[in-house]
Amino acid sequence: MFQTLPTSPYKDQKPGTSGLRKKVPVFQQKNYAENFIQSIFDSLEGFAGKSLVIGGDGRFYNREVIQTAIKMAAANGFGRIIVGQGGILSTPAASHVIRKYKAFGGIILSASHNPGGPKEDFGIKYNIGNGGPAPERITDAIFARSLEIDSYKIADHGDINLDTVGESKLGEMIVQIIDPVTDYADLMEELFDFAAIKDMFAGGFKFAFDAMSAVTGPYALEIFENRLGAGDGCVMNGTPLPDFGGHHPDPNLVHAKKLHDMMMAEDAPDFGAASDGDGDRNLIIGKHIYVTPSDSLAILAANAHHAPAYKNGIAGIARSMPTSMASDRVAEKLGIQLYETPTGWKFFGNLLDEGKVTICGEESAGTGSDHVREKDGLWAVLLWLNILASRKTSAKDIVEDHWQTFGRTYYSRHDYEGLDTDIANKLMSDLRGSLNDLKGTSAGVHKIENADDFSYLDPVDGSTSSNQGIRIFFEGGARLVLRLSGTGTTGATLRVYMEYFEPDAEQHGLDPQDALKDVIKAASIITELYKRTGREAPTVIT
């Protein structure tokens, strides 16, 4: 019943940090998904008879690839497949399921916050037994294998029923369909003070959550409405749709504008939040105040002890390099270590496994802790709710109080999407070549104190990751960071990250774009952006 079918190497570009992401029609090419999945299996050792978790964010083509992956796992010798009912598992829930059931690893089907549909994005990534994204040595092996592979193994078997919870067999392999929500919701109930949050809601606290027609809908309904009594209808867009209702399931101020407008209105709810396509990102908006992801990380770290899981304090904080330095000031005050890692969640895995850090985050709306090995949108929302319930004050007060104590770090990211790849690469390489000359010069009003290309030495496994982005430090504490996106699917995206530290509370009420205008100007001088790209303004400002 198992067959080995011919395929040809896919001769494609190297998958990025989040696995392989392409348009659906690319994945629909004959043998394309099979090729990649077989390359994953060929790059792993010792999984015979073991369990593999499979699930995705429900986007278009999810079910088809899950059927293929199950049949291939059977032919490759896995002993058990654990699949979320309907093919659904949010990325953090998949990470938890891998850990809880001590699986060998997992295959997660998602293109995160990218749009879904017949002409939109799809993705496949592999997570290892700790529940986290595969490290570079494995993703490199998968890529190398994909260039050589000439056959794949698949069971000659009809489709599996993904919609009924329970066990069945495919040859020797057990296929176990699990409820995708329960294990995850139970974990959240262990970490947080559900009784206190429930009391807060019972007392009239108003909450709005936008699931963006993506995977968190069923999780949010169970946790917020059923378990916490947050009120019927507090979860908006709660049904996962294959095309996310035609929207970008990206929880930022552009794509979650409706939620933002709602939170800025006179009669706004007390607290608002959203999550992305696969449930690992979060957007936090208090009544009349948007919280930047970098500030949210710092505030969660400073207040984590309000939640039962972190009541004894946190071991350390890790942030990706472009994330603002607001958390560094929290770590300093708490007397704990701060780790600065390259962009991408996989760099946090070792630090979490070794117990060096408890909380991690990225400026791109990712926050999480040692409870799983992925960033976790609903976790961040629940930690906020737990802090609000415990401190019994508003989100706005918590943020302003944080700035008062630690100073405010103004922060913004400007993205230039769809650039010509050659032009973008040249911009970066020219900049790399001129770093030494930049030191001591002045860009607009700011004198450059230091400039480098970020390189990371992993303190756990000793590996080095270089060329991770250009950092420019200005006199007075401002910082500019430039890097090219590794997750886009069309052209190149230049990300320009800017921050400026303001200790004086009298100056905390500025608009971030105003507060950062000198750094924005410096960025355009240093990059010669207009001259090189013809772009006068960024595509997205966050």
Annotated catalytic residues are 112
Give the end-to-end CA distance of the chain in Å, rounded to a whole number: 52
Site for ligand G1P in 487-506 (CB under 6 A): 487, 495
Of 61-69, 332-340, 358-366, 452-460, which part binds ligand G1P (CB under 6 A)?
358-366
Q: What is the DSSP string of 473-497?
A: EETTS-EEEEEE-SS-SSSEEEEEE
User: In the stretch 73-112, what mask flags binding to ligand G1P with x, by CB under 6 A?
Assistant: ---------------------------------------x
Q: What is the DSSP string of 238-284?
A: -S--TTGGGS----STTTTHHHHHHHHSTT--SEEEEE-TTS-BEEE
Helix, strand, coil tally for the chain in percent (to 5) = 35, 25, 35
Q: Strand 337-341 and strand 316-320: pairing? A: parallel
Site for Zn ion in 92-131 (CB under 5 A): 112
Contact 364, 281 (CB under 8 A): yes
Min separation Cβ 456 and Zn ion, Å: 22
Of 3-11, 213-221, 325-333, 483-491, which part binds ligand G1P (CB under 6 A)?
483-491
Closer of 94 and 352 to Zn ion (Cβ): 94
Q: Which of 458, 429, 473, 200 is nearest to 325 (CA)?
A: 473
Of 57-65, 343-351, 402-410, 516-524, which part binds ligand G1P (CB under 6 A)?
343-351
- Give which of Zn ion, ligand G1P, none residue 120 binds (C-beta under 5 to 8 Å, depending on kind): none
Q: Strand 207-210 and strand 271-275: pairing? A: parallel
Map residue 335 onto helix, strand or coil. Answer: coil
Q: Determine if residue 77 is left, alpha or beta; phi over 0 gives left, psi from -120 to 50 gives alpha, anything else beta.
A: left
Amino acid at position 422, single letter: D
Sign of CA dihedral 8, 13, 16, 21: negative
Count Cβ atoms below 10 Å from residue 335 Cβ, excluding itself. 7
Of 244-252, 271-279, 449-457, 476-484, which part binds Zn ion (CB under 5 A)?
271-279
Distance of alpha carbon 465 from alpha carbon 456, whole angstroms: 5
- Give which of Zn ion, ligand G1P, none residue 415 binds (C-beta under 5 to 8 Å, depending on kind): none
Distance of alpha carbon 345 from alpha carbon 352, whole angstroms: 11
Map residue 321 onto helix, strand or coil. Answer: coil
Closer of 35 and 275 to Zn ion (Cβ): 275
Closer of 38 and 139 to Zn ion (Cβ): 139
Min separation Cβ 86 and ligand G1P, Å: 24
Alpha helix stretches (DSSP H) within 265-373: 293-303, 326-334, 349-353
Min separation Cβ 357 and ligand G1P, Å: 16
The correct pick among 129, 135, 407, 486 for binding ligand G1P (CB under 6 A) is 486
The correct pick among 34, 120, 193, 278 for binding Zn ion (CB under 5 A) is 278
Closest residue to ligand G1P, judged by C-beta, is: 485
Distance of alpha carbon 407 from alpha carbon 507, whole angstroms: 10
Closer of 7 and 296 to ligand G1P (Cβ): 296
The correct pick among 120, 222, 225, 280 for binding Zn ion (CB under 5 A) is 280
Closer of 94 and 388 to ligand G1P (Cβ): 94
Amino acid at position 407, single letter: G
Closer of 56 and 342 to Zn ion (Cβ): 56
Closer of 276 and 376 to Zn ion (Cβ): 276
Distance of alpha carbon 482 from alpha carbon 413, whole angstroms: 10
Closer of 297 and 516 to Zn ion (Cβ): 297
Q: Does 276 bind Zn ion (CB under 5 A)?
A: yes
Min separation Cβ 417 and ligand G1P, Å: 10
Q: Does 250 bind Zn ion (CB under 5 A)?
A: no
Of 2-10, 170-178, 440-448, 482-490, which part binds ligand G1P (CB under 6 A)?
482-490
The correct pick among 51, 90, 213, 343 for binding ligand G1P (CB under 6 A) is 343
Min separation Cβ 223 and ligand G1P, Å: 22
Q: Does 42 bind Zn ion (CB under 5 A)?
A: no
Count Cβ atoms below 10 Å from residue 226 Cβ, excluding itself. 12
- Give which of ligand G1P, Zn ion, none residue 18 binds (C-beta under 5 to 8 Å, depending on kind): ligand G1P
Contact 32, 15 (CB under 8 A): no
Distance of alpha carbon 139 from alpha carbon 532, whole angstroms: 33
Chain residues in the site for ligand G1P (CB under 6 A):
18, 112, 320, 343-345, 362, 364, 366, 485-487, 495
Chain residues in the site for Zn ion (CB under 5 A):
112, 276, 278, 280-281
